[in-house]
Amino acid sequence: MVNTKVALSGLVLDNPVIPASGTFGYGHEFAELYDINILGSFSFKGTTREPRFGNEPPRIAETASGMLNAVGLQNPGIDRVIGEELPKLRKVFHKPVVANISGFSVDEYAQCCERIDKEEQVGLIEVNISCPNVHRGGMSFGTSPESAAQVTKAVKAVTKKPVYMKLSPNVTDIAAIAKACEEAGADGISLINTLMGMRIDLKKRAPVIKNVTGGLSGPAVFPVALRMVWQVYEAVKIPIIGMGGVTTAEDVIEMMLAGATAVEVGAANLVDPFASKKIVEELPYVMERLHIENLTDIIGGAHNG
């Protein structure tokens, strides 16, 4: 019998599969399709201090082996998430959840994290300093070691739960930014968010997306994500949640061999709402085929080969 359990900063998960923020809402819709307690956890929709309608449509475009999105952090705001979404979630999901927090200033990050830190169902906080689809804040905090460290310090000063910093791939040296977060007190690193891209409508001769650019996700980004997880694993000693183009149980194993302790599944959920469920169910069989008894034994295993 294989062992799929992993631990993130003391938080034990039944398996390493975590639907990524922005692709799973607050869990309610998916709970109508299957028992989401099969998941290790899930990262709920990126939450800001104030409600956000998001960017103007069109804000989704198809690409080869992926998709572009410029949703723009649409969410009901921290008050409604705590007052309405979490109580509803508690009825259908009985495990600790990952709280994804975004912001437009250091103070906003700190305020939202301090509030969500008090919620019993939150197991860890994922701080998004990497969103490429807003015109201010967001990714700007994740593009330099100094600003990433500044947000990390501010959040860690007001929280007791583990804090994982979610990094942008749209940088020259992601390992340096991860290292700065670790030195500032981060408990873990999440990576990668989407890569900047765009499409042009040939008939209109104009960008397909109203925002002009959007974040590229899906299978096309998997090799880039894998490379960055590998680099960050070599640079830090704290746990990594890997993500980016994961669609199969084999992808989960590959991410873990590169250095991830847990793995988030993003765009695949938008293509097939049962994608994460299928990966969880297939994982034990893939482990047996590859002669893996305990998943924790393979974390970073490819660095020793």
- The DSSP string of 105-160 is SHHHHHHHHHHHTT-TTEEEEEEE----SSSSSGGGGGSSHHHHHHHHHHHHTT--
Three-state SS at 278 = helix
The confidence score (pLDDT) of residue 136 equals 46
The confidence score (pLDDT) of residue 30 equals 97
The confidence score (pLDDT) of residue 260 equals 98
Q: At what angle do helices 145-156 and 174-183 cross, to 10 degrees?
A: 30
Joined together, the tokens standing for residue 20 give 């990524």
The Cα 255–Cα 262 span in angstroms is 8
Which residues lie below 8 Å from residue 79, measured CB to CB, with a gap of 6+? none
The confidence score (pLDDT) of residue 42 equals 97
Joined together, the tokens standing for residue 268 give 């695949």
Residues in the chain: 305
Catalytic residue (choose from 112, 113, 131, 181)? 131
The confidence score (pLDDT) of residue 53 equals 87
What is the reported pTM? Answer: 0.96
Q: Which element (helix H / strand E) includes 78? A: helix 78-80
Three-state SS at 265 = strand
To the query of whether residue 181 is one of the catalytic residues in this protein, the response is: no
The confidence score (pLDDT) of residue 270 equals 95
Q: At what angle do helices 249-258 and 222-235 cross, to 10 degrees?
A: 30
Domains of the chain: 6-52+78-198+213-304 (3.20.20.70)
Joined together, the tokens standing for residue 50 give 């104030």
Q: What is the mean pLDDT of each run of 10 residues along the chain (305 residues)?
A: 97 98 95 98 96 91 93 93 96 98 92 98 95 50 90 97 96 96 98 95 96 94 98 98 98 98 97 98 98 98 89
The Cα 108–Cα 92 span in angstroms is 29
Residue 219 and residue 242 in contact, taking contact as beta carbons nearer than 8 Å: no
Q: Which element (helix H / strand E) includes 92? A: helix 86-92
The Cα 128–Cα 41 span in angstroms is 17
